[in-house]
Amino acid sequence: MTRALRPAALTLAALCWGMLAHAGPGSTGGVEWRGWNEGLQHARASQRPIIVDVYTDWCGWCRRMDRDVYGKSEITDYLRKRYVTIKLNAEASDAAAYEGRKTTSQGIAQRFRVSGYPTTVFLRSTGEHMANVPGYVPADKFLLLLRYVAEGYADRNVPFKDFEKSVQDEAQRP
């Protein structure tokens, strides 16, 4: 295969792989996912922060995140207790609303400037944007991110590296 054809072949392979759809709202990897509008309403009522899994149907790393991260019981348990979980297809044209405006799932992904998949978006219970975490995140690091946000370290402006070190130091204590 010539060099010029390799990118096209890789793109075609990725598209074929992407035909195995990434699941939207519902249960995936043990997590009970909500749609955008329902999730925002539930977060306001429960006063829990929101985690938004922004994905596309063709994204292989999104499926890996479902399997290897969201499929872990410690992640599932923590999410169930501390978060409202939302799946958002960045290419979907389904109706959604945010900040008093009607839009689509695609419009919301654009609003949060998501340009790679998967991207994990953290929101306060009010829907206020906190942070985007682009790309695949291994389960151990992902659990630290979940704790960092849900346990208020992000709101107290504790640098993530300091939080991570304190957790490691705590684990090494007898």
pLDDT at 91 (0 to 100): 97
Domains of the chain: 20-172 (3.40.30.10)
Whether residue 88 contacts residue 38, with contact meaning beta carbons closer than 8 Å, is answered with no
Low-confidence ranges of the chain (pLDDT < 70): 1-29
| Residues in contact with 6: Cβ distance below 8 Å, sequence separation at least 6, in sequence order | none
List of E strands, the chain: 26-28, 31-33, 50-55, 84-89, 95-98, 101-104, 119-123, 129-134
pLDDT at 170 (0 to 100): 86
pLDDT at 172 (0 to 100): 84
pLDDT at 15 (0 to 100): 33
Residue position matching structure tokens 């709101």: 155
pLDDT at 27 (0 to 100): 55
